[in-house]
Amino acid sequence: MYKATIGIEVHAQIKTKTKMFCGCKVEFLGKSNTNICPVCMGEPGTLPRVNKRAVELAVRTAIALHARINMRSIFARKNYFYPDLPKGYQITQSIPLAEGGYVEIDTGNGKKKIAITRLHIEEDAGKLFHTAEGHSFVDFNRSGVPLMEIVSEPVIKNEKEAVAYLKRLRQIVRYVGSSDADMEKGQFRCEPNISVSKDENRGTKTEVKNLNSLKAVERAIKYEISRQIKTIDRGEIIIQQTMLWDKKRQMAIPMRKKEGVNEYRYFKEPDLIPLILNDGDIEKQRKSIPELPGEKFDRLIKQYGIKKEEAEILVEFPYIASFFEKSVESGCSPKYAIGWITTDILGELNKAGKKFSDIKTGPSHLAALNKLIDNKTINMNIAKNVLRSIIFTGEDGNDYVKANNLAQVTDENAIENAVKELIEENAKEVERYKNGEEKLFGFFVGQVMKKMRGKANPGVVNKVLKDILNRR
Amino acid sequence: MTENELLLNGTIGQILSAVKGGNITVEGTVRFFIERIKKNNLNTFIEIYEEEAVKKAREADRKVAAGDVRGAFFGIPFALKDNIAVKGHKLTCASNMLRDYTATYNSTVYEKIEAEGGILIGRTNMDEFAMGSSTETSFYGSTLNPWDRNRVPGGSSGGSAAAVAAREVVFALGSDTGGSIRQPAAFCGVTGLKPTYGRVSRYGLVAFASSLDQIGPICRSAEDAERVFSVINGFDKKDTTSKEVEKYDFTDYSPKKFKVAVSNDLNDTNLNPDIKLSLSNLLNDIKRDGHNVEGVDFDFSKYSVPVYQILSCSEASSNLARYDGIRYGYRTEKYDSLFDMYKKTRGEGFGEEVKRRILFGTYILMAKNSALYASSFKVARLIRDKLKGTFEKYDILITPTTFNPAFKFGEKIDDPIQMHHSDALTSICNLSGNPGISIPAGFSREGLPIGLQIITKRFDEKTMFQFAKYLQSKSNWHRALPEE
């Protein structure tokens, strides 16, 4: 039986206005080579200077990861030649900003702490473009954009855990405001390394790059585990290499080897002094940390009695969580609120292809609907219909019910009339019911509701129906 | 003093007064020096900014007429080593690699001098990327030593030192990584300062070895050097390795008794006997003046060269990686792949010495050699600690600046080991971060200048200048001019 071992390196773009070592603007899809200066272009004689904000945000992230922050971290150079690397080296860190720490995930089978090896700051490279005519161009707008590299220990067992870890990590950097972590924009780049083994020894690992979504991460890990197992079963050996995920073919393809990539000649960056932090710097960041996703997840379940899957949705989308909690605060029951939000509102948004911010109903609308149910003005089905109708108008639920004459009928006489009508029209079925076919009761209820356009109070319908049938 | 005497041997202060008093014009001053550059023909300058300098001089003269004279260097012509950036001007580092490169921004030191009214008259010759001790590695050919045109001016700031010595400019800036200001200053008979590491912003200095490089002045006297230093020093947020210490201000000389340590390099058998004699005489004078002079035992010079080579070349191999033909600078014409382009561009763009150092540094930085790199750091640390201990007891440490006076062209260029040994006594300060100044201290039998190196504790340029000014108050070596 094979066991897989997975470690993941994440490069998260730190959310700053300017670059890591110069004052150039950080902008996604800006016009090529407009956000550049002598420093990020590696002009002779220029020197880097550290973006304080980037350090603060990295510290904040490290705290959220429960990592041990190094009061003195050291910048280093990673030397290699490539056209997108203006200085011929990347500034990274040899003594990282933080070490240790963990991200707690819910495996569906209990909790698990995924250990973090380190978090360090580094700069991004530019981007290469190749034309059909065989020309290559470099855009240096991204050159020097601040990144946090977050490396996990190889303690992840399968693709599900990997995705749970990445999801939680992405939530953390978003919660603390250190990264937008949009994978499609390359702001959260995941590079899993994967090995398989039949015993306690670790097998040879491969690394997979070019994963632009969590779906891709999941598929790539699954693919790579199965490829490695098949390879070993064929009696071949695993080659340590970097693979590129090919989204179209849904497979990982070995990357073409670059010359001399293995000898990076790391050494201390002599243009930058050690990065020294003090307790005050760290305390300041600690204070700005909000409730973290893991804490929120536990609290939502405990406080509102909602399901894990529901809590997961709220944790992933804090604005929905806030909407939910405000609805409850306004007087809506958590059970109704979570149902209406996750099925009716999200369902309607999905159908309409709209965003959560497009909805016009607020938490008070939900509370009002809840009240209409409580005072028996409408039933749940009507409530759902009302909600779906007013999502994009923001109309008052009460008004809508009145205007459309949807108020529930509780008048026993009206319901009796409908029941009597039903019995006359369905003499055979009544006969069968009386002969013991009790499941027909539901059919009768449905028919009565239909006759009353869904507005009858289900409790009253049940009572009246039972009374009349029994009397016969 | 005649105008000629003033321009040839006046201090910055004296020339400034004459300009302010309307006794001389700035344009006349600028033209005087530019004419000398052309007439001397020592290959001190890679480019003279004649038109621009004259234009600025005329503006300055108009200001004089309007009574609007401001700045510590108002109307004073100066030169920059060709590895210090001035926006819109070429910045070649005397290399084929950058012969067509134009700086896109200003160095901090240039902005500071410009703000004080200094008039830049050109960029001076140097060893390619400041790697060398003779200016012989310059893509533009060697600079000649004004004292003997068959000899090297030293290096790498040979153009700046020779230009000041030949009175082609009032002062010049150089850069010093292992002695590149002090050694040519000694060879050319001028005063050259390598400030404490972190005193002067390196922003705009093309890096050779970032942790050792410092910009410093090359001047006619210690007084002038102090004037220039007091303008260019100070913390710069663009250079985080510059130190946030109080800005240095010029201080008048006030006599005091110094505790002087003399390194036993003075007894080294490799030391040129003329240098030994000159310095011994000088030390006797100092003793006679009542200063406390004691010999101290150092063996720094045994270790400084290899350690310096390891650290400087390692950093250089990384610092010079940016010259890849992609964004600026030289690019080879024919190539069939990216890496072929890199190889040819760098193979053709760099000279022999630069390539030798890049290769050496690349080798040292490889993971398998990390112990060598790490132990070099340790030795540098030991040197620093030993110097620190010395300055707990003494104000001043004296060494010869070099073991020999200026050598002849071709004498060492094919022997890198010999050439690298030129840095033995000066590189100590770069490894430790201490300031060092070389001042003229006599002449050899052949009439070649001899340099004395004064070292003080880190950030104590004040004591250094006080001592240098004391020595120059009782000697005339710094006023001697080469024959023309």
Residues of B within 8 A of A265 (CB-CB) are: 317-318, 362, 365-367
User: Mutate which of A46, A50, A258, A261 to disrupt the B interface (most B C-beta within 10 Å)?
Assistant: A46
CB contact under 8 A, A88 and B321: yes
The set of residues, in sequence order, having a beta carbon less than 8 Å from that of A382 and lying 6+ positions away, is A401, A406, A408, A454, A455
pLDDT at A423: 84
- The Cα-based distances of A461 to A415, A417, A418, A450 in angstroms read 7, 11, 9, 12
When pLDDT is cut at 50, 70 and 90, the band that residue A47 belongs to is very high
- Who among A45, A83, A263 is closest to B107 (CB)? A45
Residue ranges of chain B with pLDDT lower than 50? none
Q: Which fold has domain A412-471?
A: Arc Repressor Mutant, subunit A (1.10.10)
Q: How far is A90 from chain B (nearest CA, A)?
A: 10
Interface list for chain B against chain A, based on CB atoms closer than 8 Å: 83-85, 91, 93, 98, 101, 103-105, 107, 202-207, 209-211, 237-241, 314-315, 317-318, 320-322, 324, 326-328, 338-339, 342, 362, 365-367, 373
Q: Which fold has domain B1-484?
A: Amidase signature (AS) enzymes (3.90.1300)
Examine the residue annotation and report whether B180 is marked as an active-site residue of this protein: yes
User: Mutate which of A40, A50, A267 to disrupt the B interface (most B C-beta within 10 Å)?
Assistant: A267
When pLDDT is cut at 50, 70 and 90, the band that residue A207 belongs to is very high
* A-chain residue closest to B322, CA distance: A87
Burial class (CB in 10 A: 0-12, 13-18, 19+), B277: middle
The conformation of residue A257, written as its DSSP 8-state character, comes to P
pLDDT at A403: 84
The residue type at A261: V
Residue B140's H or E segment, with its range, is none
When pLDDT is cut at 50, 70 and 90, the band that residue A409 belongs to is confident
User: Mutate which of B324, B346, B360 to disrupt the A interface (most A C-beta within 10 Å)?
Assistant: B324
Contact A156, A45 (CB under 8 A): no
Contact B184, B157 (CB under 8 A): yes
Residue A260 neighbours by CB distance under 10 Å: 12
Examine the residue annotation and report whether B278 is marked as an active-site residue of this protein: no
pLDDT at A258: 52
pLDDT for residue A259 is more than 80? no
pLDDT at A343: 94
Q: Positive or negative, the Cα torsion across B451, B453, B459, B461? A: negative
- The Cα-based distances of B122 to B87, B88, B168 in angstroms read 13, 13, 11
* A-chain residue closest to B201, CA distance: A47
d(Cα B364, Cα B369) in Å, to the nearest integer? 6
- Who among A50, A83, A267 is closest to B326 (CB)? A83
Catalytic residue chosen out of the listed positions B134, B156, B230, B432: B156
pLDDT at A437: 84
CB contact under 8 A, B98 and A44: yes
Residue B366 neighbours by CB distance under 10 Å: 13
CB contact under 8 A, B105 and A46: yes
Q: Is A421 left (phi over 0), alpha (psi -120 to 50) or beta?
A: alpha
CB contact under 8 A, A42 and B104: no
Residue A399 neighbours by CB distance under 10 Å: 11
Contact B204, B109 (CB under 8 A): yes
The conformation of residue B482, written as its DSSP 8-state character, comes to -
Structure tokens at A132: 């059909």
pLDDT for residue A434 is more than 70? yes
d(Cα A332, Cα A329) in Å, to the nearest integer? 7
Q: Could you give the dihedral angle defined by the CA atoms of residues A463, A467, A469 and A471, in that order, rounded to the nearest 10 degrees?
A: 180
Residue among B200, B285, B304 at smallest CA distance from B248: B200
Residues of B within 8 A of A87 (CB-CB) are: 321-322
Contact B278, B271 (CB under 8 A): no
- Who among A50, A259, A267 is closest to B339 (CB)? A259
* Boundaries of every domain in chain A: 3-286, 293-403, 412-471
Mean pLDDT over A25-37 rounds to: 94
Examine the residue annotation and report whether B17 is marked as an active-site residue of this protein: no
Task: Assess A129–B contact: CB distance below 8 Å, yes or no.
Answer: no
d(Cα A56, Cα B397) in Å, to the nearest integer? 44
Q: Could you give the dihedral angle defined by the CA atoms of residues B259, B264, B270 and B274, in that order, rounded to the nearest 10 degrees?
A: 30
Pairing of strands A275-276, A72-79: antiparallel
pLDDT at A455: 79
pLDDT at B109: 98
| pLDDT tens digit sequence for A324-345 | 999 999 999 999 999 999 999 9
d(Cα A441, Cα A459) in Å, to the nearest integer? 13
Residues of A within 8 A of B367 (CB-CB) are: 263, 265-266
pLDDT at B240: 96
d(Cα A203, Cα A195) in Å, to the nearest integer? 5
Residue A443 neighbours by CB distance under 10 Å: 14
Contact B89, B49 (CB under 8 A): yes
Structure tokens at A392: 């994009």
Beta strands in A180-312 (DSSP E): 188-197, 206-209, 242-246, 251-254, 267-268, 275-276
What is the residue-averaged pLDDT of chain A? 93
d(Cα A159, Cα A222) in Å, to the nearest integer? 6
Q: How far is A268 from chain B (nearest CA, A)?
A: 9
The set of residues, in sequence order, having a beta carbon less than 8 Å from that of A147 and lying 6+ positions away, is A11, A12, A13, A14, A20, A121, A122, A123, A124
Under DSSP, is residue A452 helix (H, G, I), strand (E, B) or coil? coil
The residue with tokens 């369902």 is A347
CB contact under 8 A, B327 and A86: yes
User: Mutate which of B111, B237, B319 to disrupt the A interface (most A C-beta within 10 Å)?
Assistant: B319
Alpha-carbon Rg of chain B, whole angstroms?
A: 21
Q: How far is CA A448 from the centre of its chain?
A: 45
CB contact under 8 A, A44 and B322: yes
The set of residues, in sequence order, having a beta carbon less than 8 Å from that of A101 and lying 6+ positions away, is A62, A65, A66, A67, A68, A115, A116, A119
**Could you give the percent of chain A with pLDDT greater than 70?**
98
d(Cα B361, Cα B358) in Å, to the nearest integer? 5
According to DSSP, the residues that pair with B215 across neighbouring strands are B175
* B-chain residue closest to A263, CA distance: B366
When pLDDT is cut at 50, 70 and 90, the band that residue A454 belongs to is confident
pLDDT at A209: 94
The set of residues, in sequence order, having a beta carbon less than 8 Å from that of B223 and lying 6+ positions away, is B11, B12, B13, B253, B469, B472
pLDDT for residue A260 is more than 60? no
